[in-house]
Amino acid sequence: MPCSEFTHLDENSSPQMVDVGSKESTERRALARTIVEFPQEVAEELDCVGMRSSKGSIYDVAIIAGTQAAKKTADLIPLCHFIPLDSVKIKLSREGDRRILVECRVKATHKTGVEMEALVGCSVAALTVYDMCKALSHEIVIGETKLIEKTGGKSKYFLEEIKA
């Protein structure tokens, strides 16, 4: 018996790319977030050097890496569709002394959603922050990555905590 809930499985439970050929192109948007947490001594050093490392501006490099990753999502996730993206916006901001919030907003006019692109974008941006700071400590933690909102197509999603 096939698992009808999983759109990436066919009637024989074999993996398949979802056929979106008959779907209508609409504006699709998604926002994802990842948290990067630093040990106190790393946070203090980052404050001292103005969020720069020997490799350059930590924020700038992470923004470029996350944007590039979002555009390459179909190359990284096997059953994702290639989606020409209208916009990718990566934002990094400090939250308290020891955390950076990484957000990735993606927009496209296409037949399928862009939540995977947003999740990949913020994940790679967070990994880039880790890469640029790992000389200071390997105790940097990349925390939860989650979808915050998704619009377009036939369903919408807004994480409960931001609905209020």
Q: Report the catalytic residues.
A: 131
Joined together, the tokens standing for residue 142 give 């990349």
Largest Cα–Cα separation, the chain: 60
CB atoms within 10 A of CB 10: 11
Interatomic CA distance for residues 133 and 102, integer angstroms: 15
Alpha helix ranges (H) inside the chain: 40-48, 58-71, 73-76, 115-133, 160-163
Helix (H) or strand (E) holding 14: none
